[in-house]
């Protein structure tokens, strides 16, 4: 089977027969491409069947995390969502498409525009409070215009996003993190609690659990 996580910016593809995993930009997918089962913001365009992202995330957490109590957070290009399990049971979830809007995409655009290599920047104690990534970019540009180094300004925005995500997930002691931002080392180091990263294909593990149940 071909499984697909069709996010806002990137598509993650899993071939269950070969275990081949591929990441492409959504814009690079052929219009005729159709996965067998999938999830994600753009899934209706590219898959025969689909599963809700929260359900896929919960399935993945149950399958991949060897703990009965945990919080699993997915931060992508457009939004953030999380699930909480306690004693092996699903107890809570939430989906933030407003305050988390374009978080990953905004940070990617910002880094490219300012020529900032996040892997070479240290976390900041000070942070920018912004209701979304796009508004945060405006604050960063204002700070740079005021003489603050681009790396410092960008790191303060990332710290602010991390604090926002921490509060969004109800301030757990530990967060399992998935989504595109697992590739941003500064984001991970800026989280205010213990953070364990999973890879970008986590949601597809949840899709696979669903696909197997269809047979």
Q: pLDDT tens digits, residue range 147-178?
A: 999 999 999 999 999 998 999 999 999 999 99
pLDDT-wise least confident of 83-87, 133-137, 185-189: 133-137
**What was the pLDDT predicted at 133?**
74
- Domain ranges, ordered by start, for the chain: 52-203
DSSP for 75-101, written as a single string: E-SS-EEEEEEETTEEEEEEEESSTTT
Mean pLDDT of 95-101: 67
Q: Which residues pair with 5 in a beta bridge?
A: 12, 39
Give dist(CA 66, CA 112) in Å, integer: 37
Residue 40: what pLDDT?
A: 95
Q: Please, which residues have CB within 8 angstroms of residue 5's CB and are 6 or more apart in sequence?
A: 11, 12, 13, 38, 39, 40, 56, 201, 203, 204, 207
Residue 100 has pLDDT above 70, yes or no: no
Q: Would you say residue 91 has pLDDT above 80? A: yes
The pLDDT of 10-38, averaged and rounded, is 96
> What is the predicted pLDDT for the residue at 132?
72
For residue 95, how many other CB atoms are within 10 A of its CB? Answer: 15
pTM as predicted: 0.93
SS (H, E, C) 21-68: EEEEEHHHCCCCCCEEEEECCCHHHHEEEECCHHHHHHHHHHHHCCCC
Residue 79 has pLDDT above 70, yes or no: yes
Strand stretches in 61-211, DSSP E: 70-75, 80-86, 89-96, 174-178, 194-197
Q: In a 3-state reduction of DSSP, which class is residue 70?
A: strand
Whose CA is closest to 56, among 10, 124, 113, 3? 3
**Mean pLDDT of the chain, nearest integer:** 93
Tokens representing 196 are 């364990």
Distance (Å, rounded) from C-alpha 150 to C-alpha 143?
A: 8
Confidence of residue 201 (pLDDT cuts 50, 70, 90): very high
pLDDT of residue 99: 56
Q: Which pLDDT tens digit goes with each residue over 110-142?
A: 999 999 999 999 999 999 987 677 788 899 999
Q: Using the predicted structure, report yes or no on whether residue 1 has a pLDDT greater than 70.
A: yes
pLDDT at 135: 82
Residues 150 and 178: their CA atoms lie apart, in Å, by 26
**Of 67, 71, 56, nearest in space to 201 by CA:** 56
Question: Given this model, what pLDDT does residue 129 score?
Answer: 84
* Contact (Cβ atoms closer than 8 angstroms) between residue 106 and residue 116: no
Question: At 78, is the pLDDT very low, low, confident or very high (cuts 50, 70, 90)?
Answer: confident
In angstroms, the Cα distances linking 133 to 90, 154, 157 are: 29, 11, 8
CATH of domain 52-203: 3.30.420.40
By DSSP bridging, strand 47-50 and strand 70-75 are: unpaired
């Amino acid at each position: 089977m071909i499984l697909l996580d069709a996010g806002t910016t990137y598509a993650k593809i899993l071939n269950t027969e070969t275990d081949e995993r591929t990441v492409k930009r959504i814009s690079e997918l052929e219009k005729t491409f159709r996965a067998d089962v999938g999830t994600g913001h753009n899934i209706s365009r590219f898959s025969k069947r689909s599963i809700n992202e929260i359900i896929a995330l919960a399935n993945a957490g149950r399958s991949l995390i060897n703990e009965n109590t945990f919080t699993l957070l997915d931060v992508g290009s457009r939004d953030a969502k999380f699930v909480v399990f306690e004693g092996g049971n699903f107890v809570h979830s939430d989906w933030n498409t407003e305050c988390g809007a374009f978080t990953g995409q905004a940070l990617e655009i910002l880094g490219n525009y300012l020529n900032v290599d996040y892997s070479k920047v240290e976390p900041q104690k000070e942070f920018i409070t912004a209701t979304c990534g796009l508004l945060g970019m405006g604050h960063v540009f204002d700070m740079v215009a005021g003489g603050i180094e681009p790396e410092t300004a960008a790191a303060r925005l990332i710290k602010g996003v991390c604090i926002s995500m921490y509060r969004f997930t109800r301030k757990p002691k530990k967060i399992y993190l998935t989504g595109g931002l697992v590739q941003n080392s500064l984001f991970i180091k800026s989280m205010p609690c213990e953070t364990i990263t999973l890879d970008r294909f986590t949601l597809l593990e949840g899709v696979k659990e669903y696909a197997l149940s269809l047979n």
